[in-house]
Amino acid sequence: MYNLGIHILSFILKLISPFNKKIQLGVKGRRSTFKVLKQKLNSNERTLWFHCASLGEYEQGLPIFEALRDHYPQYKIVLSFFSPSGYEIRKNTKVADVVVYLPLDTKKNAKRFLDLVNPEFTVFVKYDIWPHFLLELQRRKGRAILISALFRKNQSYFKSYSNKRKSALFAFEHIFVQNESSKALLESINYNQVTISGDTRFDRVNNQLSQNNTLDFISEFKGNSTCFVIGSSWPEDENILAPYINTNASEDLKFIIAPHEISNKHVKSLISSLHVDVIKFSDSKGKQLNEFSVFIIDTIGLLTKIYSYADIAYVGGAMGQTGLHNILEPAVFGVPIVIGKHYSKFPEASAMIKHAGVTSVKSEQELKTVCDTLIDSVEFRRSEGLKNAAFISNNKGAVVQIMNYIRI
């Protein structure tokens, strides 16, 4: 059934690729994977293999990737992605020598891929677990670990009918999980080589504090105003935020919006919902930015630094069903955070709502109540932000645990 599902997936992806740019990129990219590997690798080289589903998992694994690159410079590193949203943005990353799309998970592809890569050590991140690749790696006695793993009871690994996916877990010599419940689930299927190391993203965002986060154009826009940063917003988020912005944007309260979707169509739609002075990043050159109330960031790669200017942050994705984006990025800068209502699959959100300075809202009215309080009370705002910064500091350390385990 699994093999049939993979072949059906392959057929569907090829069928719809002409009508979906993202899928088309993946289909075309996978066609060139073996050619790229043949060109850039040779059998005499020692290699490490890192695999991530997408950009989020890459960011999660990056502290480990960077540490391995530093500790083992003699190895050539192959980085694979399944999703175009990871590959297209990080295909030129300095952490790897070769970046490719992972071919679809068939026995033939797995053997061909591993014949070319022949990794001495492999790191998978979080949950993108492909049975044929891992079982073939195990058959060759290849070493592999899974990091920042997060499991739920309803996943197929813990069902009686999914032996192939379950067996793939046993191809990992060790699994580093984020929490106790994930460890308990693995032990329930007699997988015992497991350590609770936490989430490597805490280490990743903590490193941001030592970076230069200065953006002169944001400083110019913000001035001495209170700055409300809206990061990775989706339409469901923007629908409740736009009325609040229209009512409250002023010289003293400015908003920066970095939408998840930065197409011209979406940005135009967003601007049409705002009835205040708005400037786009793409139109900002030569403009007096301090004259505008709303700054829309219609480009990628700036949000992490922009959060350092925030007095309040709203992180998108949880008002709808698309998935909450990274709340740790603003938290590390000591910023109070507001999110939507669908966060149950994100343990860091649940923990930070309970123990730190994150608040979930379900409606436009709840958003208004929470944001008015944060804006009006500087003392409360700072207190909530400090809770977030402390939470990040208290939960870092996964990288040290994982690197202490790895010996190549």
DSSP structure string for 42-77: -TTS-EEEEEESSHHHHHHHHHHHHHHHHH-TTSEE
On average, the pLDDT of the chain sits at 95
Give the CB-side neighbour count of residue 204, counting CA atoms within 13 A: 22
Residue 22: pLDDT band with limits 50, 70, 90: confident
Q: What is the rounded average pLDDT of the residues 134-157? A: 94
> Cα separation of 176 and 296, whole Å?
38
Residue 1 pLDDT > 90: no
- What are the structure tokens assigned to 268, written together? 């135009």
Instruction: Considering only the C-alpha atoms of the chain, give the largest distance between any 2 of them, rounded to a whole number of Å.
Output: 65
Q: Range with the lowest mean pLDDT among 16-30, 202-216, 384-398?
A: 16-30
Q: What is the pLDDT of residue 9?
A: 84
pLDDT band at 164 (very low <50, low <70, confident <90, very high): confident
Is the pLDDT at 342 greater than 80? The verdict is yes
Percent of the chain with pLDDT over 70: 100
**Residue 318's pLDDT is what?**
97
The percent of residues above 90 in pLDDT, for the chain, comes to 87
User: Which position has the higher pLDDT, 165 or 257?
Assistant: 257
Asked whether residue 163 carries a pLDDT value surpassing 80, the answer given is: no
Q: Do residues 63 and 57 touch, judged by C-beta distance below 8 A? A: no
The pLDDT confidence band at residue 258, using thresholds 50, 70 and 90, is very high
The pLDDT of residue 162 is 66
**What would the mean pLDDT of 266-284 be, rounded to a whole number?**
97
Q: In sequence order, what are the beta bridge partners of 313?
A: 229, 337
Distance, in Å, from the CA atom of 384 to the CA atom of 339, rounded to the nearest integer, reads: 14
pLDDT of 160 higher than 80:
no
| Res 87: pLDDT | 95
Q: How confident is the model at residue 224 (pLDDT cuts 50, 70, 90)?
A: very high
Burial 164-201 (b: 16+ CB within 10 A, else e): ebbebbebbeebbbbbeebbebbeeeebeebbebbbbb
* CB neighbour class for 404 (10 Å; exposed up to 12, middle 13-18, buried from 19): exposed
Any idea which residue has 């057929």 for tokens? Answer: 11
Give the count of beta carbons closer than 10 Å to the beta carbon of residue 26: 23
Residues 256, 232 contacting (CB under 8 angstroms): no
CA distance 126 to 79: 15
Q: Long-range contacts: 371-378, Cβ < 8 Å, 24+?
A: 371/228, 371/244, 371/248, 371/312, 371/338, 374/312, 374/336, 374/338, 375/226, 375/228, 375/248, 375/253, 375/312
State how far the Cα of 366 lies from the Cα of 338, in Å rounded to an integer: 10
Put the strands of the sheet holding 294-296 in their side by side order.
278-280, 294-296, 253-259, 226-233, 312-315, 337-339, 358-360
Model confidence at 149, pLDDT cuts 50, 70, 90, reads: very high
pLDDT at 4: 84
Across residues 158-182, what is the average pLDDT? Answer: 89
